[in-house]
Amino acid sequence: MRRLAVALLTAVVIASACGGDTTNADPGSTTSTTSEPPTTTSTTTAAPMTVAEPSTTTTTTTTSVPATTGEWVVHDADGCFCADGSDYQYLTWAGDPEKVVIFLQGGGACFTAETCEIGGPAQSFSHDIVADLEAARSGGFRRGLFDFDNPENPVGDWSVIYLPYCTGDVFLGTRAHTYSDEVVISHTGNLNARKGVEHLLANHPGATHVFVTGSSAGAVPAPLVAGLVAEQYPDADVAALGDGAGGYGANPVVMGFLNAQWGIADGIPDWPVAEGVDVTTLGAPDNYILAVNQFDNLRVARFDDAYDSVQAGFASLFSLSGGGTVLDVVLESEAYIEQAGIDLPVFIAAGNDHTTMLAEDFYELEEGGVRWVDWLTDFINGKPLDDVKCTDCGSPSS
Protein backbone atom coordinates (compact mmCIF):
# COMPACT_ATOMS: atom_id res chain seq x y z
CA MET A 1 0.00 0.00 0.00
CA ARG A 2 1.23 3.45 -0.87
CA ARG A 3 -0.16 5.08 2.23
CA LEU A 4 1.89 7.81 3.86
CA ALA A 5 0.97 10.80 5.99
CA VAL A 6 -2.32 12.67 5.85
CA ALA A 7 -2.74 15.69 3.57
CA LEU A 8 -4.84 18.83 3.62
CA LEU A 9 -5.58 21.27 0.83
CA THR A 10 -4.75 24.88 0.99
CA ALA A 11 -3.15 27.44 -1.26
CA VAL A 12 0.38 27.44 0.04
CA VAL A 13 2.44 30.59 -0.11
CA ILE A 14 6.10 31.24 0.50
CA ALA A 15 7.21 34.06 2.75
CA SER A 16 10.40 35.07 4.52
CA ALA A 17 12.78 32.39 5.69
CA CYS A 18 13.48 31.76 9.35
CA GLY A 19 15.69 34.24 11.13
CA GLY A 20 19.03 33.72 12.80
CA ASP A 21 22.28 32.12 11.78
CA THR A 22 22.10 28.67 10.27
CA THR A 23 24.66 26.08 11.22
CA ASN A 24 25.10 22.41 10.57
CA ALA A 25 24.67 19.58 12.99
CA ASP A 26 27.16 16.80 13.14
CA PRO A 27 25.71 13.85 11.20
CA GLY A 28 25.62 11.90 14.43
CA SER A 29 23.94 14.61 16.45
CA THR A 30 20.21 14.97 17.10
CA THR A 31 20.30 18.20 19.07
CA SER A 32 20.60 21.81 18.02
CA THR A 33 20.76 25.27 19.50
CA THR A 34 18.60 27.94 17.95
CA SER A 35 16.88 31.18 18.81
CA GLU A 36 13.58 31.35 20.68
CA PRO A 37 10.36 30.33 18.92
CA PRO A 38 8.27 33.11 17.39
CA THR A 39 6.03 35.10 19.66
CA THR A 40 3.07 32.91 20.43
CA THR A 41 0.13 35.17 19.67
CA SER A 42 -2.38 34.87 16.89
CA THR A 43 -1.35 38.22 15.44
CA THR A 44 2.39 37.66 15.19
CA THR A 45 3.34 37.40 11.53
CA ALA A 46 6.44 37.10 9.43
CA ALA A 47 7.11 39.96 7.04
CA PRO A 48 6.68 38.74 3.45
CA MET A 49 9.89 38.63 1.47
CA THR A 50 11.20 37.07 -1.68
CA VAL A 51 14.36 34.99 -1.61
CA ALA A 52 17.35 37.26 -1.84
CA GLU A 53 19.71 37.01 -4.77
CA PRO A 54 22.79 34.92 -3.93
CA SER A 55 25.00 37.99 -4.08
CA THR A 56 22.71 40.15 -1.94
CA THR A 57 21.45 37.79 0.76
CA THR A 58 21.15 39.75 3.98
CA THR A 59 20.60 36.83 6.35
CA THR A 60 23.11 34.13 7.07
CA THR A 61 22.03 31.20 4.96
CA THR A 62 22.75 27.55 5.47
CA THR A 63 26.37 26.68 4.96
CA SER A 64 27.57 23.29 3.94
CA VAL A 65 29.74 20.82 5.76
CA PRO A 66 31.95 18.37 3.91
CA ALA A 67 29.63 15.54 2.94
CA THR A 68 30.43 12.12 1.65
CA THR A 69 28.30 10.83 -1.19
CA GLY A 70 26.19 8.07 0.26
CA GLU A 71 25.13 9.51 3.61
CA TRP A 72 22.45 11.80 4.97
CA VAL A 73 23.67 14.93 6.73
CA VAL A 74 21.58 16.68 9.41
CA HIS A 75 21.37 20.48 9.35
CA ASP A 76 20.12 22.84 12.03
CA ALA A 77 17.83 25.61 10.79
CA ASP A 78 18.26 28.32 13.39
CA GLY A 79 15.15 30.40 13.87
CA CYS A 80 12.94 27.69 12.34
CA PHE A 81 10.56 25.68 14.49
CA CYS A 82 8.13 22.80 14.65
CA ALA A 83 4.57 23.11 15.93
CA ASP A 84 5.57 22.72 19.57
CA GLY A 85 8.34 25.34 19.31
CA SER A 86 11.14 22.78 19.12
CA ASP A 87 14.04 23.41 16.77
CA TYR A 88 13.61 22.53 13.11
CA GLN A 89 16.18 20.41 11.30
CA TYR A 90 16.43 19.04 7.79
CA LEU A 91 18.50 16.58 5.79
CA THR A 92 20.69 16.63 2.73
CA TRP A 93 22.18 13.89 0.57
CA ALA A 94 25.32 14.63 -1.43
CA GLY A 95 25.20 13.79 -5.12
CA ASP A 96 25.67 15.73 -8.33
CA PRO A 97 25.94 19.35 -7.12
CA GLU A 98 24.32 20.67 -10.30
CA LYS A 99 21.24 18.44 -10.07
CA VAL A 100 19.16 18.83 -6.92
CA VAL A 101 15.91 17.41 -5.55
CA ILE A 102 13.95 19.41 -2.97
CA PHE A 103 11.51 17.07 -1.21
CA LEU A 104 8.70 18.29 1.07
CA GLN A 105 7.51 15.61 3.48
CA GLY A 106 3.83 14.82 3.94
CA GLY A 107 1.75 15.00 7.09
CA GLY A 108 -1.57 16.07 8.54
CA ALA A 109 -2.84 19.47 9.61
CA CYS A 110 -4.44 21.17 12.59
CA PHE A 111 -6.70 24.17 13.04
CA THR A 112 -8.36 23.96 16.50
CA ALA A 113 -7.20 23.39 20.06
CA GLU A 114 -8.44 19.81 19.85
CA THR A 115 -6.72 18.96 16.58
CA CYS A 116 -3.54 20.82 17.50
CA GLU A 117 -2.95 19.31 20.93
CA ILE A 118 0.56 17.85 20.68
CA GLY A 119 0.35 14.14 21.31
CA GLY A 120 -3.44 14.26 21.46
CA PRO A 121 -5.67 11.67 19.81
CA ALA A 122 -6.37 13.85 16.76
CA GLN A 123 -2.78 14.94 16.28
CA SER A 124 -1.06 13.41 13.25
CA PHE A 125 1.00 16.25 11.81
CA SER A 126 4.00 16.73 14.09
CA HIS A 127 6.53 14.21 12.92
CA ASP A 128 9.24 13.19 15.33
CA ILE A 129 12.11 14.80 13.45
CA VAL A 130 14.74 13.05 15.56
CA ALA A 131 13.17 9.72 14.62
CA ASP A 132 13.08 10.80 10.97
CA LEU A 133 16.76 11.67 11.06
CA GLU A 134 17.65 8.39 12.69
CA ALA A 135 15.54 6.48 10.16
CA ALA A 136 17.36 8.19 7.31
CA ARG A 137 20.77 7.40 8.71
CA SER A 138 19.81 3.77 9.30
CA GLY A 139 18.60 3.31 5.73
CA GLY A 140 14.89 3.69 6.44
CA PHE A 141 14.43 6.09 3.53
CA ARG A 142 15.94 3.72 0.96
CA ARG A 143 12.80 3.25 -1.09
CA GLY A 144 11.05 4.94 -3.97
CA LEU A 145 12.69 8.18 -4.97
CA PHE A 146 15.40 7.67 -2.33
CA ASP A 147 16.45 4.19 -3.42
CA PHE A 148 19.74 5.57 -4.69
CA ASP A 149 21.08 2.12 -5.54
CA ASN A 150 18.30 1.32 -8.00
CA PRO A 151 19.60 1.86 -11.55
CA GLU A 152 16.10 2.92 -12.67
CA ASN A 153 15.95 5.81 -10.21
CA PRO A 154 15.76 8.99 -12.34
CA VAL A 155 17.47 11.02 -9.59
CA GLY A 156 19.74 8.30 -8.23
CA ASP A 157 22.88 10.42 -8.56
CA TRP A 158 21.31 13.80 -7.66
CA SER A 159 21.76 15.81 -4.49
CA VAL A 160 18.74 15.99 -2.17
CA ILE A 161 17.36 18.58 0.26
CA TYR A 162 14.79 16.76 2.42
CA LEU A 163 12.45 19.03 4.38
CA PRO A 164 10.58 17.30 7.23
CA TYR A 165 7.05 18.46 7.99
CA CYS A 166 6.06 19.25 11.57
CA THR A 167 3.96 22.42 11.68
CA GLY A 168 0.42 21.32 10.84
CA ASP A 169 -0.04 23.99 8.16
CA VAL A 170 0.80 22.28 4.88
CA PHE A 171 4.05 24.28 4.62
CA LEU A 172 2.19 27.59 4.34
CA GLY A 173 2.07 29.10 7.82
CA THR A 174 3.98 32.24 8.76
CA ARG A 175 3.16 32.70 12.44
CA ALA A 176 2.34 31.16 15.77
CA HIS A 177 -1.25 30.91 16.91
CA THR A 178 -2.72 30.66 20.40
CA TYR A 179 -5.63 28.21 20.42
CA SER A 180 -5.95 28.02 24.20
CA ASP A 181 -3.87 28.57 27.31
CA GLU A 182 -2.46 25.08 26.84
CA VAL A 183 -2.21 24.92 23.04
CA VAL A 184 0.09 27.36 21.24
CA ILE A 185 1.27 26.21 17.82
CA SER A 186 4.09 27.49 15.64
CA HIS A 187 2.45 27.34 12.20
CA THR A 188 5.67 28.34 10.45
CA GLY A 189 5.99 25.64 7.79
CA ASN A 190 6.20 28.28 5.07
CA LEU A 191 9.40 29.56 6.64
CA ASN A 192 10.79 26.05 6.99
CA ALA A 193 10.21 25.41 3.29
CA ARG A 194 12.04 28.63 2.49
CA LYS A 195 15.04 27.27 4.37
CA GLY A 196 15.36 24.60 1.70
CA VAL A 197 15.59 27.27 -0.99
CA GLU A 198 18.19 29.13 1.05
CA HIS A 199 20.24 25.94 1.34
CA LEU A 200 20.05 25.48 -2.42
CA LEU A 201 21.29 29.03 -3.03
CA ALA A 202 24.15 28.73 -0.59
CA ASN A 203 25.34 25.27 -1.56
CA HIS A 204 24.34 24.73 -5.20
CA PRO A 205 24.84 28.10 -6.92
CA GLY A 206 25.59 26.36 -10.21
CA ALA A 207 22.53 24.12 -10.25
CA THR A 208 21.30 23.39 -13.77
CA HIS A 209 18.41 21.07 -12.88
CA VAL A 210 16.16 21.29 -9.82
CA PHE A 211 13.25 18.91 -9.19
CA VAL A 212 10.83 20.03 -6.47
CA THR A 213 8.38 17.43 -5.26
CA GLY A 214 6.42 16.56 -2.17
CA SER A 215 3.92 13.99 -1.03
CA SER A 216 0.54 14.68 0.54
CA ALA A 217 0.88 17.96 2.49
CA GLY A 218 4.19 18.51 0.72
CA ALA A 219 2.52 18.26 -2.69
CA VAL A 220 0.43 21.41 -2.21
CA PRO A 221 3.35 23.89 -1.99
CA ALA A 222 5.62 22.11 -4.50
CA PRO A 223 4.88 24.37 -7.51
CA LEU A 224 5.28 27.57 -5.50
CA VAL A 225 8.54 26.43 -3.91
CA ALA A 226 9.66 25.56 -7.43
CA GLY A 227 8.68 29.06 -8.45
CA LEU A 228 11.02 30.50 -5.84
CA VAL A 229 13.76 28.30 -7.29
CA ALA A 230 12.97 29.34 -10.87
CA GLU A 231 13.14 32.98 -9.78
CA GLN A 232 16.71 32.53 -8.56
CA TYR A 233 17.86 30.16 -11.32
CA PRO A 234 16.41 31.60 -14.54
CA ASP A 235 18.75 29.52 -16.72
CA ALA A 236 18.08 26.22 -14.95
CA ASP A 237 15.52 23.58 -15.81
CA VAL A 238 13.10 23.61 -12.87
CA ALA A 239 10.37 20.99 -12.55
CA ALA A 240 7.70 20.46 -9.90
CA LEU A 241 5.47 17.45 -9.30
CA GLY A 242 2.71 17.25 -6.72
CA ASP A 243 2.19 13.75 -5.34
CA GLY A 244 -1.23 13.08 -3.85
CA ALA A 245 -2.97 16.47 -3.54
CA GLY A 246 -4.88 16.90 -6.80
CA GLY A 247 -8.26 16.09 -5.31
CA TYR A 248 -8.86 19.36 -3.49
CA GLY A 249 -10.83 22.35 -4.66
CA ALA A 250 -11.26 25.77 -3.10
CA ASN A 251 -13.71 26.94 -0.45
CA PRO A 252 -13.54 30.65 0.48
CA VAL A 253 -14.98 30.06 3.94
CA VAL A 254 -12.38 27.38 4.69
CA MET A 255 -9.52 29.42 3.24
CA GLY A 256 -10.52 32.47 5.25
CA PHE A 257 -10.65 30.38 8.42
CA LEU A 258 -7.25 28.78 7.80
CA ASN A 259 -5.71 32.12 6.92
CA ALA A 260 -6.78 33.43 10.33
CA GLN A 261 -5.09 30.50 12.07
CA TRP A 262 -1.96 30.16 9.94
CA GLY A 263 -1.24 33.54 8.37
CA ILE A 264 -1.48 32.35 4.78
CA ALA A 265 -1.83 35.82 3.27
CA ASP A 266 1.39 37.03 4.86
CA GLY A 267 3.40 34.63 2.73
CA ILE A 268 1.97 35.17 -0.74
CA PRO A 269 4.98 35.40 -3.07
CA ASP A 270 5.97 38.87 -4.15
CA TRP A 271 5.36 38.14 -7.83
CA PRO A 272 3.47 40.35 -10.30
CA VAL A 273 0.97 37.54 -11.02
CA ALA A 274 0.08 37.44 -7.32
CA GLU A 275 -0.52 41.15 -6.93
CA GLY A 276 -3.91 41.79 -5.38
CA VAL A 277 -4.73 38.09 -5.00
CA ASP A 278 -7.37 37.31 -2.38
CA VAL A 279 -6.10 34.25 -0.56
CA THR A 280 -9.64 33.02 0.09
CA THR A 281 -10.17 32.54 -3.65
CA LEU A 282 -7.19 30.27 -4.07
CA GLY A 283 -7.18 26.51 -4.20
CA ALA A 284 -4.35 24.04 -4.66
CA PRO A 285 -4.63 24.21 -8.49
CA ASP A 286 -3.93 27.95 -8.37
CA ASN A 287 -0.44 27.24 -7.06
CA TYR A 288 0.41 25.76 -10.46
CA ILE A 289 -1.15 28.67 -12.30
CA LEU A 290 0.62 31.37 -10.28
CA ALA A 291 4.06 29.78 -10.50
CA VAL A 292 4.05 28.72 -14.15
CA ASN A 293 2.53 31.98 -15.37
CA GLN A 294 5.30 33.83 -13.56
CA PHE A 295 8.29 31.73 -14.66
CA ASP A 296 8.75 30.28 -18.13
CA ASN A 297 11.54 27.95 -17.02
CA LEU A 298 9.21 25.99 -14.76
CA ARG A 299 7.53 22.71 -15.77
CA VAL A 300 4.84 21.00 -13.69
CA ALA A 301 3.08 17.64 -13.38
CA ARG A 302 0.92 15.72 -10.92
CA PHE A 303 0.37 12.18 -9.60
CA ASP A 304 -2.82 11.02 -7.92
CA ASP A 305 -4.61 7.82 -7.05
CA ALA A 306 -8.11 7.96 -8.53
CA TYR A 307 -9.95 7.38 -5.26
CA ASP A 308 -7.28 8.37 -2.74
CA SER A 309 -8.98 7.67 0.59
CA VAL A 310 -6.93 10.24 2.51
CA GLN A 311 -7.78 13.05 0.12
CA ALA A 312 -11.40 11.93 0.11
CA GLY A 313 -11.54 12.22 3.89
CA PHE A 314 -10.14 15.73 4.03
CA ALA A 315 -12.10 16.96 1.03
CA SER A 316 -15.28 15.80 2.72
CA LEU A 317 -14.31 17.35 6.05
CA PHE A 318 -13.73 20.76 4.49
CA SER A 319 -16.35 20.60 1.73
CA LEU A 320 -13.60 20.86 -0.89
CA SER A 321 -14.90 18.30 -3.36
CA GLY A 322 -18.21 19.87 -4.32
CA GLY A 323 -19.84 16.54 -3.69
CA GLY A 324 -17.72 14.73 -6.27
CA THR A 325 -15.16 11.98 -5.89
CA VAL A 326 -11.41 12.55 -5.73
CA LEU A 327 -11.20 11.54 -9.38
CA ASP A 328 -13.87 14.08 -10.30
CA VAL A 329 -11.93 16.89 -8.64
CA VAL A 330 -8.57 15.72 -10.02
CA LEU A 331 -9.98 15.91 -13.56
CA GLU A 332 -11.77 19.21 -12.94
CA SER A 333 -8.66 20.85 -11.51
CA GLU A 334 -6.55 19.52 -14.38
CA ALA A 335 -8.94 21.17 -16.83
CA TYR A 336 -8.93 24.37 -14.77
CA ILE A 337 -5.12 24.55 -14.83
CA GLU A 338 -4.88 23.78 -18.54
CA GLN A 339 -7.55 26.37 -19.35
CA ALA A 340 -5.08 28.89 -17.92
CA GLY A 341 -2.70 27.91 -20.73
CA ILE A 342 -0.53 25.57 -18.68
CA ASP A 343 0.64 22.15 -19.81
CA LEU A 344 -0.02 19.79 -16.89
CA PRO A 345 0.83 16.15 -17.56
CA VAL A 346 -0.93 13.87 -15.08
CA PHE A 347 -0.54 10.25 -14.01
CA ILE A 348 -3.71 8.90 -12.39
CA ALA A 349 -3.41 5.43 -10.89
CA ALA A 350 -6.31 3.12 -10.07
CA GLY A 351 -7.35 2.52 -6.48
CA ASN A 352 -7.51 4.40 -3.21
CA ASP A 353 -3.89 4.46 -2.05
CA HIS A 354 -2.18 7.70 -1.12
CA THR A 355 1.07 9.06 -2.65
CA THR A 356 3.84 7.33 -4.57
CA MET A 357 7.22 8.99 -4.05
CA LEU A 358 8.23 6.80 -1.10
CA ALA A 359 5.98 3.87 -1.97
CA GLU A 360 7.08 0.27 -1.96
CA ASP A 361 5.67 -0.22 -5.48
CA PHE A 362 7.35 2.88 -6.93
CA TYR A 363 9.19 0.78 -9.51
CA GLU A 364 6.35 -1.65 -10.26
CA LEU A 365 3.34 0.65 -10.56
CA GLU A 366 1.90 1.00 -14.06
CA GLU A 367 -1.27 2.08 -15.81
CA GLY A 368 -2.29 1.19 -19.35
CA GLY A 369 1.08 -0.44 -19.96
CA VAL A 370 2.99 2.69 -18.91
CA ARG A 371 5.30 2.29 -15.94
CA TRP A 372 5.19 5.14 -13.44
CA VAL A 373 8.97 5.28 -13.06
CA ASP A 374 9.43 5.56 -16.84
CA TRP A 375 6.85 8.36 -17.06
CA LEU A 376 8.49 10.22 -14.16
CA THR A 377 11.92 9.78 -15.72
CA ASP A 378 10.69 11.31 -18.96
CA PHE A 379 9.16 14.23 -17.06
CA ILE A 380 12.34 14.92 -15.11
CA ASN A 381 14.34 14.75 -18.35
CA GLY A 382 12.03 17.22 -20.04
CA LYS A 383 10.61 14.84 -22.65
CA PRO A 384 7.10 15.34 -24.10
CA LEU A 385 4.51 13.41 -22.10
CA ASP A 386 1.01 12.09 -22.65
CA ASP A 387 -1.38 11.89 -19.75
CA VAL A 388 -1.74 8.47 -18.16
CA LYS A 389 -5.21 7.90 -16.71
CA CYS A 390 -6.68 4.69 -15.40
CA THR A 391 -9.62 3.30 -17.35
CA ASP A 392 -10.63 0.75 -14.74
CA CYS A 393 -10.10 2.99 -11.74
CA GLY A 394 -11.88 0.96 -9.09
CA SER A 395 -14.45 2.71 -6.92
CA PRO A 396 -14.44 5.25 -4.10
CA SER A 397 -15.04 2.46 -1.59
CA SER A 398 -12.48 0.01 -3.01
Domain containing 142 equals 72-389
Strand partners, 76: 89
55 occurs within a structural domain: no
Find the CATH number of the domain harbouring 195. 3.40.50.1820
The pLDDT tens digits of the residues spanning 297-344 come to 999 999 999 999 998 887 776 665 566 899 999 999 999 999 999 999
Cβ count near 341 (within 10 Å): 9
Query: In total, how many domains does the chain have?
Result: 1
CB neighbour list of residue 34: distance below 8 Å, 6 or more residues apart: 20, 76, 77, 78, 79, 80, 81, 87, 88
Q: What is the CA radius of gyration of the chain?
A: 19
Q: pLDDT digit of tens for each residue in the chain (398 aa)?
A: 433 322 222 233 333 478 633 333 332 233 333 334 444 333 333 333 233 232 222 233 344 444 556 789 999 998 999 998 999 999 999 999 999 999 999 988 888 888 888 777 666 676 677 788 788 878 778 899 999 999 999 999 999 999 999 999 999 999 999 999 999 999 999 999 999 999 999 999 999 999 999 999 999 999 999 999 999 999 999 999 999 999 987 778 888 898 999 998 888 889 999 999 998 888 889 999 999 999 999 999 999 999 999 988 877 766 655 668 999 999 999 999 999 999 999 999 999 999 999 999 999 999 999 999 999 999 999 999 999 999 999 988 75
CB neighbour list of residue 18: distance below 8 Å, 6 or more residues apart: 77, 78, 79, 80, 81, 88, 188, 191, 192, 194, 195
DSSP classification of residue 61: -
Helix (H, G, I), strand (E, B) or coil at 298: strand
**Residue 118, pLDDT score:** 78
DSSP H or E stretch at residue 131:
helix 129-137
36 occurs within a structural domain: no
367 occurs within a structural domain: yes
**Residue 281, pLDDT score:** 87
C-alpha span between 367 and 390 (Å, rounded): 6
64 occurs within a structural domain: no
For the whole model, what pTM was predicted?
A: 0.85
57 occurs within a structural domain: no
29 occurs within a structural domain: no
40 occurs within a structural domain: no
**Residue 44, pLDDT score:** 35
Task: Give the chain's mean pLDDT.
Answer: 82
4 occurs within a structural domain: no
